[in-house]
Structure 1
Amino acid sequence: MLIQRVHYAVKKHFALHKTLEFFWRQNWDLGSVTDIFCHMMPFYSYDIPHTCGPDPKICCQFDFKRLPGGRYGCPWGVPPETIYLGNLQNRAEMLLDQYRKKSKLFRTTVVLAPLGDDFRYCERTEWDHQFKNYQLLFDYMNSRSQYNVKIQFGTLSDYFDALDKEDAANRKNSQSMFPVLSGDFFTYADRDDHYWSGYFTSRPFYKRMDRILESHLRAAEILYYFALKQAQQYKISKFLSSSHYMMLTEARRNLGLFQHHDAITGTAKDWVVVDYGTRLFHSLMNLKKIIGHSALLLILKDKRSYDSYSFDTFLEMDLKQRTQSSLPQKNVISLSAEPRYLVVYNPSEQDRNSVVSVCVSSPTAQVSSASGKPVEIQMSAVWDTASTVSQTAYEISFLAQMPPLGLKVYKILETASSNPHLAEYVLYNGHIANKGIFNMNNIKSAQEDITLENSFITLRFGQSGLMEEMINKGDGKSHEVKVQFSWYGTTSKKDKSGAYLFLPDGEAKPYVYTTPPFVIVQHGRFFSDVTCFFEHVTHRVRLYNIHGIEGQSVEISNIVDIRKEHNREIAMRISSSINNQNRFYTDLNGYQIQPRMTLSKLPLQANVYPMTTMAYVQDAEYRLTLLSAQSLGQIEVIMDRRLMQDDNRGLEQGVHDNKITANLFRILLEKRSVMNMEEEKKSVSYPSLLSHITSSFLNHPIFPMTEKVPVPTLQLLGEFSPLMSSLPCDIHLVNLRTIQSKVDGKHSNEAALILHRKGFDCCFSSRDTGLLCSTTQGKANMYTFEDSALIDS
């Protein structure tokens, strides 16, 4: 789809220069190691009327599903004819003429003419019509030497093998006949101003759910492998005979299925989307079980006691999602005087200091280490609604220090001697009647700006509660970083925005509210935040007061609800004082960064780009990065879209199955330690090391777990630490995946350890950033894994 759907002017340029087939080289590749051979279709679509040659009126006559009497005809008014002796020569020469015209656009003597489309070959009669009629045409053409053609049915492999054979013969005398191109085709259109930038954002609820399933799958794969090794060592039959591996396999398949180009894109029909969502939800529930069961085995003091516990004993995650279309909610942990285990899993390959937050039933909660040493906690209010504080649930937060890929065990109980730090609140433009145990100061409206700060950053908010300024405490310099919301409508022309297309009615219009939003400002020991309640968005900006990775960026959370809107799209705009000179950067696929420019000669929708995990702007001194926990469209961050009509790209419906949708981001402001004025001229860019790890923490959050039912006899270790030390900062453990047995489809004794070294920008200092790791020029010491049974004895 990426290669096939390209703006007509680009296609015309490619065709004139016979560059529709080329080697695609990554910007960062100094040689040709990563070259991928690509074929671009030259005409409007990949259906049969647009693949035999330049004239769809003729090509459609050779789509034999459209024979007279069937459900489908040719829009150009001339139907296909069944091939027989009387029309064979005429029809063969008509088709061959199209093939020859198409061949003029390519460099070789081999031509590809696909015979298919979406939802084709569903009935046997279609197979028969296509095969029998084309075989008659092929036999006739091949039997006439004057046509000088050899034509046959073939697979894509047959086509590319023939191309490679011809190119190889050419390479004996000179270099390859195909050009080399770099870059990408974003953002592309198939005609007019119909740019396919809508699907970057369509169905954002499931784009977020996809990323959540990814993080759970990786965590489950890693913990399952470690637990499997211990189960084999101690002969724990309940774990070895479980269906965990089958559920892991199913989860991989469901996640892979959702990567399909009509799933993650949000361009499937409503009932298909529900099926995708149900599969994701089902696998998410199974992965939570695998994580809980594996974690319990790994931290049990007596491994052999695992077989004696019932299903209700196992650890359960602190987040629960009721249906495939609802947002996850925190479980409320019921406390008593009997201590209860709280287990935290760190899915990162580095040591990690992170704030853990769980909900409990009592305001007299206490958290201690496994050995019984009390841990400082912050207690925050749980809001049942925007203006109602829960009297039965309380959020407690504490700082956990966790080993890489490891588990840390805490105890939690209700005790009269607890002394939690109670968060303090200031409320603007609203009133809370029952404050409970919390100090809440009701103020009619904000007369002065609101501020939050930690040891790295000071944030200033306007009287509406939206962020306006970031101050870097390292050099004291102030930067305008404004957060605003806006609306896009759709054009009044016949063709309007749909699942694929973004066709706005002009520039974004400000999000207008008639009364000031209700604003809650929270100040606490480990984090402070500002929450604004608008009609369509609940917007929260949080600053963590910890000396580490998470203290250096700003967390932004949005809960979006536009279910009552009609043909509107809502966006979050972040504007800054950084002098980026019309250049910005987005990641292509979570691995590499592509420089972009806004082009005034193109319509607005052509200047929207996909943002998979991050986007940034920079000047000679500073870089401002927006890191995202879900893929969305970026010029502003378009967060959801509700569109009432089809955009004629195959979906045959609008996008109006919107859900209440959660978006999560981090904003990172960094100062360069080295000034490099050549940076802007390069065709490739890299995140900083801090940015990489911040993105990893955002997309792979920690997993708190508690016992499903308290068991007084349960004895756990203080921690499980599978690695001897952190991996280098620039090396990410992509997965530790148990390999399937070739015999019975169950697990084998082998695993695939997949490591990825991340390229990073050295112009940003990693000193004083709180990184608990270092770099080693891409070398990973395998002795790091020695204690984890990764090296099988």
Structure 2
Amino acid sequence: IHKVIDQLPFDNPDGGAWKQGWQVTYPPTRWTAENKLKIVLVPHTHCDPGWVKTFADYYQSQTKKILDNFVPKLEQDSKYKFMFSEISYFSWWWSEISTSMKDRVRSLINNHQFEISTGGWVMTDEANAHYFAMLDQLIEGHQWLNNTLGYIPQSGWAIDPFGYSSTMAYLLKRSDFKSMLIQRVHYSFKKFLAQNADLEFMWRQHWDAEASTDIFTHLMPFYSYDVPHTCGPEPAVCCQFDFRRLPGSPNRCPWHIDAKAVTDENVEERSMTILDQWKKKATLYKTNVVLVPLGDDFRYMQPDEFDLQFGNYEKIFRYLDTHPELGAQAQFGTLSDYFNTLYKETATIPGQRPPSIPSLSGDFFSYADRDDHYWTGYFTSRPLSKNLDRSLEHNLRSAEISFSLAYSEARKHSAANFPSKFFMEKLVEARRTMGLFQHHDAIAGTAKDFVMNDYGNRLLKALHDAKTIVVECSVFLLAEKKDEYSWTPDSPIFNMDEVRSSHDSLPTRPLLELTDIPKSVLLYNSLAQQRTEVVKLWTNWPYVEVRDTDGVAIHSQVEPFWSSTETTDKNKFKVSFVADVSGLGIKKYTIRKVVKGSDTRNHIVSVVILNSDTKIDINEYSDFTLDTNFLSASFSSMGLLKSVKSLSSGKTFKSQMDFIQYGTARAQDKSGAYLFLPDGDAKPLLASKPSMVKILRGPITSEVHVVTQYVQQVVRLHNSPGTDGSSVDVYNVVDIRNTANMEVGMRLHTDVDNSQQIFYSDLNGFQMQQRKYYRKLTLQGNVYPMATMAYLQDRSKRVSVLTSQSSGVANLVQGAIDVMFDRRLNQDDNRGLGQGVLDNKPTPSRFRILFESRESDVENPNPETSFPSLLGQLSSLALIHPIFVMPQSETGKEPSLGSSVSLLSESLSCELHLLNLRTLQNSDDQPELKYVPKESSLLLLRHLPSDCSFTSPSLSCTPGAGKVVLTNMFSVAGVKKSVQTSLTMNKIITEITPSSPLQVQPMEIMAVQIEFS
């Protein structure tokens, strides 16, 4: 794709009827009676699970009616077809219909009249979503379909996400899909492909040298997926054949030419008119099969729409059948009907490359639908919701793994007191809530305020449930006598690691009330590698003694809790210490109150305040440094980072931090929830007075607090031998509620020599994608999504920004990375939402900045395919999946707990990521079994690729070759049976002997269904 972008002028000449194309023509003899064009007309509806109405409102007022309608209409004629996608809606409808109606639906599926395309819980966003959640919502949808209907989707259908990621193509391919369809791609790119009839291609992962990831992909050519833009290049003509828009309908054609019913008198003229459009569209593709979608958002809500569309098109079909000299044959079909017809026409095995079809690698960001209207604002819109989503993903994954192993233990010990059915219900609900939020108007932040609130409340409940499962499973797994465990929801034994009072509030940590008697703190590491890193908790007393699992007193650090920018809380303190937890390990540390000075391992931080209003402890306008055993960071008197020195290499990296702001364009078209239309280059985010700076120094962490008008920032260095000691931790709370049309972010200036302005940003946390600055794309066209990281590099070094939540990222200035924080827009951007973005709240974000030197200089510092270092991969995972710190509560009675348990026999090698261990659900359609967990789980393992030219000094794991033996992988349960499957378990690939080494290839995700012995 980069080679194409290099060539394209990205101009926008008026193409006539097809505004973004050209006047399409075709030779009259191209199709004949012996060489017919096959037209597949696909009736469909697109049902957003939330946008300008809530998910529930849409279901009750619109989606339910559509689903009620299609069954009797398709039963009228076996030639009638219909297609639907969103299982979040379909499963709800299914739960309400009668047994006889269910049988009728099954009959339509078996008769190939009704197709479910993609079959995910939603049609996922592909920019902001993490691949864990993208895959999980696909698994949830596919498992529901397979368990309920025995149905396996065949084709991917993504008509509405605002740009496309090659990660989704990979997930579909490895879920055994043969073909897929996409729509919202930059209009210039569409035109380029259309000119060469290359709108169908084999989409290949850029790191794939063997073509094993190729998936046949159909790109729709025109502006939209509605009927005026799907029959051919002339929307004013196509609209006449949307028979819902007949005169008298509230929906009319905006081109001042009404739709016309087909009659015996006009059937010839009508047939010739639309056939002309179909043939023109067909010239943009290489085969004799053309796809014509027939639908739009929430279509077929009225029963007569089926009658109008089916009845009028049938007359056209019959006319073509009786005039073979026209060289055309048309029929109703589904997406899979289209692909299967194409494969048959080209004598191609489904999923293989048809003749003359090119391959293409890369992604389809960033998207513009017209002019310079780039959809790059939604990468950052509603960042608090994006933050909450990522927190749920972390907690749900951790709950899944701990529950699967605790449930195995409960069965082994016949522990009837373990509430497996209740926890399974909460897990299923949380999976579906997380899946719902991956919808392309949810995590994108492009729904109305009250809809975002509805999503937020759902996410908050799911987060609470997931945390409950983590706490209780940790206690159960650590309990020495399983039969002594009891779940007491009203008086839990341990508190959650953090709580949120509402979906739009900042998270807080529980306070541990200390006494002379030691209190327990449970630490749970949900990653499969051993970790040594700093953990923290809040206490009511500053002088403490912390002991590890062996009862040995360890060093701790105490700092004040700031109730305001310069005021401390006399009854609340932050205690930090370095913990060591094995892969999938749970450890019990203890902490107790002591007398001041009685424990020399307990350290109180020193505090200096610069630029203070109160002029206390003041030392104005002087630069300063923070030091650990691993890094030395220098700061300006304003408290902003300037440079970082690695003490192991002796090299100093420029890392000048600035805050930046954008306004919106002064033209009529302005930024909104979707679009980023700035008023020019970024400007400094100037404060009305010097920033107040707090400097805290201690032996375990040292940090700088900067308080500005809109951003409160904490830059922290950990004196830890783990991955957290190798990077600079940056935590921000952004509050722009008192602004108008303002977007804020940070710019990190480095001394990386990227004179070509090439950088790399990730796609969904799964892979890195090369980006290059192009002036011809405009400023906003050079902004890209960042789910987990971005980096700049040259021949000798790399600077990476790792993020805990998705955002927009850019390299607009040589040697600098820009990351957006939040955006407040006072107007709609005319993409259907009908409002601006004015529901901002104080919003947290966390980053790690990693500075790495190559072992030796390289010739080509910017290859097309690039990977994080192993340190970068593990640092990112540690940022996204922090160690759970669960303090003992005041109410619950602690059972007899062991000091530690390692759920893995040994930590996995560095490159193997335990993506999930997901207990399988019984049939959703049988109430008595719905939440009874199956005795099998889906194990997902990922082989993390890495760039070996960078040293990784702080790793506590051992690099391997992606191998693991399942029999002895888990310490608490042996594996008696294992079967490798496609990612969503719809296809069995091969049976695996659990005692044989299992190898996961680099970049790949392996899915294994396992049964514990």
Q: TM-score range by the shorter chain?
A: over 0.9
**1:679 Cα deviation from its structure 2 partner:** 4.1
Does the Cα contact within 8 Å between 2:493 and 2:892 map onto a contact in 1?
Answer: no
- The aligned residue for residue 765 of structure 1 is 951
Alignment counterpart, residue 556 of structure 1, candidates 710, 730, 751: 730
Does the Cα contact within 8 Å between 2:793 and 2:861 map onto a contact in 1?
Answer: no
Indicate whether 1:430 and 2:612 are aligned: yes
Superposed CA deviations along residues 522-577 of structure 1, whole A, max 9, x for unmatched, are 00121001010011110111000112211000001110111121111101111111
**1:41 Cα deviation from its structure 2 partner:** 1.3
In structure 1, distance between residues paired with 2:349 and 2:803? 47
**1:431 Cα deviation from its structure 2 partner:** 5.2
Alignment counterpart, residue 754 of structure 1, candidates 924, 934, 940: 940
In structure 2, distance between residues paired with 1:308 and 1:454? 43
Other structure's SS at 2:776 match: coil
In structure 1, distance between residues paired with 2:421 and 2:325? 68
- The aligned residue for residue 593 of structure 1 is 768
Other structure's SS at 1:32 match: coil
- In structure 2, give the amino acid aligned to 1:215: H
**1:371 Cα deviation from its structure 2 partner:** 5.0
In structure 1, distance between residues paired with 2:620 and 2:300? 65
**1:372 Cα deviation from its structure 2 partner:** 3.7
- In structure 2, give the amino acid aligned to 1:563: R
**1:311 Cα deviation from its structure 2 partner:** 4.3
Does the Cα contact within 8 Å between 1:231 and 1:240 map onto a contact in 2?
Answer: no
Moved more, 368-377 or 159-168: 368-377
Indicate whether 1:722 and 2:903 are aligned: yes
Q: Report the TM-score, using the length of structure 2 for normalisation.
A: 0.75
In structure 2, distance between residues paired with 1:241 and 1:528? 43
- The aligned residue for residue 634 of structure 2 is 460
Q: In 2 relative to 1, CA 414–763 (structure 1 residues): closer, same or farther, beyond 3 Å? A: same
**1:411 Cα deviation from its structure 2 partner:** 1.7
Matches within 5 A, 1:190-589: 190-240=369-419, 242-307=421-486, 311-370=490-549, 372-416=551-595, 417=598, 420-430=602-612, 442-443=617-618, 445-446=620-621, 448-581=622-755, 582-589=757-764
**1:790 Cα deviation from its structure 2 partner:** 4.0
Q: What fraction of aligned residue pairs are identical, expressed as a percent?
A: 43
Indicate whether 1:188 and 2:362 are aligned: no
Q: In 2 relative to 1, CA 710–451 (structure 1 residues): closer, same or farther, beyond 3 Å? A: same
Does the Cα contact within 8 Å between 2:915 and 2:941 map onto a contact in 1?
Answer: yes
**1:170 Cα deviation from its structure 2 partner:** 10
**1:412 Cα deviation from its structure 2 partner:** 2.2
Gaps of 5+ in 1: 434-440
Does the Cα contact within 8 Å between 1:353 and 1:402 map onto a contact in 2?
Answer: yes
In structure 1, distance between residues paired with 2:705 and 2:864? 39
Alignment counterpart, residue 666 of structure 1, candidates 835, 848, 872: 848
**1:421 Cα deviation from its structure 2 partner:** 0.6
Q: In 2 relative to 1, CA 12–786 (structure 1 residues): closer, same or farther, beyond 3 Å? A: closer
Indicate whether 1:780 and 2:964 are aligned: yes
- In structure 2, give the amino acid aligned to 1:295: S
**1:198 Cα deviation from its structure 2 partner:** 1.1
**1:137 Cα deviation from its structure 2 partner:** 2.4
- In structure 1, give the amino acid aligned to 2:691: P
- The aligned residue for residue 613 of structure 1 is 788
Q: Report the TM-score, using the length of structure 1 for normalisation.
A: 0.95
Superposed CA deviations along residues 649-689 of structure 1, whole A, max 9, x for unmatched, are 22222222212111110000000013221342x32101000
- The aligned residue for residue 218 of structure 2 is 39
Q: In 2 relative to 1, CA 444–777 (structure 1 residues): closer, same or farther, beyond 3 Å? A: closer
- The aligned residue for residue 633 of structure 1 is 808
**1:315 Cα deviation from its structure 2 partner:** 2.1
Q: In 2 relative to 1, CA 555–373 (structure 1 residues): closer, same or farther, beyond 3 Å? A: same
Runs of 4+ in 1 over 4 A off after TM superposition: 308-311, 710-713
In structure 1, distance between residues paired with 2:714 and 2:521? 27
Other structure's SS at 1:442 match: coil
Superposed CA deviations along residues 466-493 of structure 1, whole A, max 9, x for unmatched, are 0011122233232221110111111111
Does the Cα contact within 8 Å between 1:49 and 1:56 map onto a contact in 2?
Answer: yes
Other structure's SS at 1:101 match: helix
Other structure's SS at 1:111 match: strand
**1:762 Cα deviation from its structure 2 partner:** 1.1
Other structure's SS at 2:347 match: helix
Does the Cα contact within 8 Å between 1:520 and 1:530 map onto a contact in 2?
Answer: yes
**1:458 Cα deviation from its structure 2 partner:** 1.1
Does the Cα contact within 8 Å between 2:384 and 2:843 map onto a contact in 1?
Answer: yes
Alignment counterpart, residue 704 of structure 1, candidates 846, 860, 885: 885
Other structure's SS at 2:714 match: strand
Moved more, 199-208 or 735-744: 735-744
- The aligned residue for residue 438 of structure 1 is none
Does the Cα contact within 8 Å between 1:569 and 1:642 map onto a contact in 2?
Answer: yes
Alignment counterpart, residue 272 of structure 2, candidates 90, 93, 97: 93
- In structure 1, give the amino acid aligned to 2:218: H
- In structure 1, give the amino acid aligned to 2:656: K
- The aligned residue for residue 106 of structure 1 is 285
Superposed CA deviations along residues 368-394 of structure 1, whole A, max 9, x for unmatched, are 234543232101110111121001111
**1:786 Cα deviation from its structure 2 partner:** 4.6
Matches within 5 A, 1:114-129: 114-129=293-308
Other structure's SS at 1:164 match: helix
- The aligned residue for residue 57 of structure 1 is 236
Q: In 2 relative to 1, CA 95–711 (structure 1 residues): closer, same or farther, beyond 3 Å? A: closer
In structure 1, distance between residues paired with 2:487 and 2:673? 52
In structure 1, distance between residues paired with 2:489 and 2:509? 24
Q: In 2 relative to 1, CA 629–101 (structure 1 residues): closer, same or farther, beyond 3 Å? A: same
In structure 1, distance between residues paired with 2:908 and 2:349? 47
**1:423 Cα deviation from its structure 2 partner:** 0.7
- In structure 1, give the amino acid aligned to 2:838: H
Does the Cα contact within 8 Å between 2:348 and 2:354 map onto a contact in 1?
Answer: no
**1:158 Cα deviation from its structure 2 partner:** 0.6
- The aligned residue for residue 1003 of structure 2 is none
Does the Cα contact within 8 Å between 1:24 and 1:36 map onto a contact in 2?
Answer: yes
Q: In 2 relative to 1, CA 107–713 (structure 1 residues): closer, same or farther, beyond 3 Å? A: closer
- The aligned residue for residue 437 of structure 1 is none
- The aligned residue for residue 179 of structure 1 is 358
Matches within 5 A, 1:148-187: 148-168=327-347, 176-187=355-366
Q: In 2 relative to 1, CA 282–534 (structure 1 residues): closer, same or farther, beyond 3 Å? A: same
**1:515 Cα deviation from its structure 2 partner:** 0.8
- In structure 2, give the amino acid aligned to 1:393: K
- In structure 1, give the amino acid aligned to 2:650: G
In structure 1, distance between residues paired with 2:799 and 2:548? 38
Does the Cα contact within 8 Å between 2:504 and 2:841 map onto a contact in 1?
Answer: yes
- In structure 1, give the amino acid aligned to 2:723: I
Superposed CA deviations along residues 149-183 of structure 1, whole A, max 9, x for unmatched, are 21111111111111122232599x99722111111
Does the Cα contact within 8 Å between 1:388 and 1:432 map onto a contact in 2?
Answer: no
Superposed CA deviations along residues 239-278 of structure 1, whole A, max 9, x for unmatched, are 1454101111111111111111111111122222122111
Does the Cα contact within 8 Å between 1:483 and 1:574 map onto a contact in 2?
Answer: yes
